[in-house]
Amino acid sequence: MTAKLPRTARLLACGGALILSCTATTATAEPADNAAMLELADRSRCLTCHDVSETLRGPAWRDVAKRYRGRTDVEEMLVKKVYEGGSGAWGDDYMSANKRAGLDNIRTLVRWILTLP
Ligand code: HEC
């Protein structure tokens, strides 16, 4: 049944489910944060190319978190890359610039992405 929903709706539904039912799990980020962050990501148009757990056009954000786990020097690099766009780190595809999302929102999202379990 979930397969029929558009991806964004499915993600948001998942965020809602997290609030309702996942409070007792081992998630490291607060479920309420996840829902708010997914909403911000949706508004910022990230979810047309990204999913938390699935590779779409862009890498799954959990894979991004895994790759940079423990690195304190990557936040600014990633913020700049998302803002300006770029390629070469994950494959041949190109991330277009996301300037309309704004640097503050992008920084918030990158910080959250880096904490994903
Ligand atoms: C047009 C599709 C598209 C959109 C929209 C998009 N991305 Fe990406 N993103 C990609 C692709 C493709 C890559 C892989 C780029 C590469 O291989 O270097 C990527 C990579 C990334 C990375 C990892 C970069 C690295 O160097 O490891 C992060 C973090 C990221 N995106 C976050 C975001 C956020 C946050 C947004 C929304 C503000 C966003 N993306 C919007 C396609 C997109």
- Measured in angstroms, how far is the CA atom of residue 47 from the centroid of ligand 1? 10
Return the minimum-mean-pLDDT range out of 30-44, 62-76, 95-109.
30-44
Q: Helix %, strand %, coil % for the chain, to 5? A: 60, 5, 40
The set of protein residues with a Cβ atom below 6 angstroms from ligand 1 is 44-46, 48-50, 57-59, 64, 78, 81-82, 86-91, 93-96, 98, 101, 106, 109-110, 113
Q: What is the pLDDT of residue 21?
A: 44
The preferred substitution site among 40, 45, 49, 107 for testing ligand 1, maximizing ligand atoms within 8 Å of CB, is 49
- Measured in angstroms, how far is the CA atom of residue 35 from the centroid of ligand 1? 20
Per residue in 65-92, pLDDT (tens digit) is 999 999 989 999 999 999 999 999 999 9
pLDDT for residue 26 is more than 90? no
Q: What are phi and psi of 95, to 5 degrees?
A: -90, 120
**Do 59 and 73 meet the contact criterion of CB atoms below 8 Å apart?**
no
Return the minimum-mean-pLDDT range out of 11-20, 78-87, 93-102.
11-20
Q: How confident is the model at residue 6 (pLDDT cuts 50, 70, 90)?
A: low
Structural domains of the chain sorted by starting position, each given as residue range(s) with its CATH number in brackets: 2-115 (1.10.760.10)
**Do 34 and 15 meet the contact criterion of CB atoms below 8 Å apart?**
yes
In this structure, how many other beta carbons lie within 10 angstroms of the beta carbon of residue 74? 16
Average pLDDT along the chain: 84
